[in-house]
Amino acid sequence: MSLPPAATPRKRVGILISGGGSNMAALIAAARDPAFPAEIALVVSNRVTAGGLAKAEAAGVATSVIDHRGFSDRESFDRAVDAALNDAHVDVLCMAGFMRIVSNWFAETWRDRALNIHPALLPAYTGLNTHARAIADGVRVTGATVHFVRPELDVGPIIIQAAVPVLATDTPGTLAARVLVEEHRIYPQALAWVASGRAHVVRRADGTEHVVIDAPPSPAPTLISPALQR
Ligand code: GRF
């Protein structure tokens, strides 16, 4: 009797948070689908007060609090986070509202295995208060970006982006809410592409990097409409 092919083991994902964890919740929800190529193995917060911890625990996801204030320098904190991720056999790391700048050591250790979401269309509006700055500048379009992490803040090969219109009536709060809806859609898509091995970082001759997404295997579990899939 021929046995069915063993299912490819799902990639184990660690999520780093500092706050409410709405993107973490979107990733946890996406991973509930057995066809999703990743499972959420661990949520790590640098703040014991992070509201996302309760959401993760309610979803049955293991959590860990590693308070950055207990470490003398950035790299020693990062090494403690790295140890917790390795203990949980994490393959891919998603930073989701994680308000820490990682050390060069951490970025290189997790090179092309660490993703981050930023509430702007990078390379525009790196840093904080992206929505207030976009409104102040009168831009007509902003959005969100998921990228691979590199040592420099909010820089790295872009995996996926979503564009969101800026309305004349927008406040930073109304704009943030509209962008978050798109964040919760594109982050699971980005993780699915990375976890399924379809996202590749290509370095050009001039040293710049970009991400190529392989064509979907058919039948492909699509998370976004095929028209949007490359
Ligand atoms: C989001 O806009 C995210 O892009 C940024 O922090 C905000 C809150 O994220 N990094 P979350 O709700 O904690 O996931």
| pLDDT digits 0-9 by tens, 170-183 | 999 999 999 999 99
Which stretch of DSSP H or E encloses residue 77?
helix 74-87
Q: What is the pLDDT of residues 193-229, one digit of tens each?
A: 999 999 999 999 999 999 999 987 776 565 666 566 5
Domains held by the chain: number = 1
> With bands split at pLDDT 50, 70 and 90, how would you rate the model's confidence at 11?
very high
pLDDT recorded at residue 216: 78
What is the Å distance from ligand 1's center to 167 Cα? 21
Domain-embedded: residue 230: no
- Active-site annotation, residues: 118
Nearest CA to ligand 1 atom 6: 97
230, with CB counted inside 10 A (0-12, 13-18, 19+), is exposed
pLDDT of residue 230 exceeding 80: no
Q: What is the pLDDT of residue 9?
A: 86
CA of 95 to the centre of ligand 1 (A): 9
Q: Is the pLDDT of residue 185 over 60?
A: yes
For residue 56, is it within any domain? Answer: yes
Site to probe by mutation for ligand 1, drawn from 40, 95, 98, 117 as the one with most ligand atoms within 8 Å of Cβ, is 117
Residues in CB range of 222: below 8 A, 6 or more apart: 216, 229
Could you tell me if residue 227 is inside a domain?
no
Sheet holding 38-45, edge to edge: 63-65, 38-45, 11-17, 92-95, 114-118, 141-148, 158-165
Q: Does 2 reside within a domain?
A: no
> Which atom of ligand 1 is the closest one to the Cα of 180?
2
Q: Which of 80, 72, 29 is nearest to 64 (CA)?
A: 80
Q: Bridge partners of 43?
A: 15, 63
Q: State residue 223's pLDDT score.
A: 65
Q: Is residue 219 situated within a structural domain?
A: no
Give phi and psi for 58, each to the nearest 5: -65, -30
The amino acid at residue 108 is E
Token pair listed for 14 = 């660690």
Integer Cα distance of 52 and 98 in angstroms: 11
Answer yes or no: are the C-beta atoms of 190 and 115 closer than 8 Å: yes
Confirm whether 158 is domain-assigned.
yes
Ligand 1 midpoint to CA 19 (Å):
8
pLDDT tens readout for residues 84-130: 999 999 999 999 999 999 999 999 999 999 999 999 999 999 999 99
In terms of Cα–Cα distance, which of 230, 126, 134 is closest to 179?
A: 134
Residues 80 and 46 sit within 8 Å (Cβ to Cβ): no
Tell me, in angstroms, the distance from the centre of ligand 1 to residue 8's CA: 31
User: Looking at residue 156, which CATH number applies to its domain?
Assistant: 3.40.50.170
pLDDT for the residue 3: 53
**Closest ligand 1 atom to Cα of 179:** 2
Ligand 1 atom closest to 21 (CA): 13
User: Mean of the pLDDT values across residues 138-144?
Assistant: 98
Residues flanking ligand 1, CB < 6 Å? 17, 19-24, 96-97, 117-119, 180, 183
The parent domain of residue 23 ranges over 11-214
Structural domain includes residue 201:
yes
Q: Mean of the pLDDT values across residues 13-36?
A: 97
29-52 pLDDT, tens digit each: 999 999 999 999 999 999 999 999
Rounded to 10°, the helix 172-195/22-31 angle is 40
Question: Going by CA atoms, what residue is nearest to atom 5 of ligand 1?
Answer: 97
- Calculate mean pLDDT across residues 69-86: 97
The model carries a pTM of 0.91
Answer yes or no: is 6 within a domain.
Answer: no
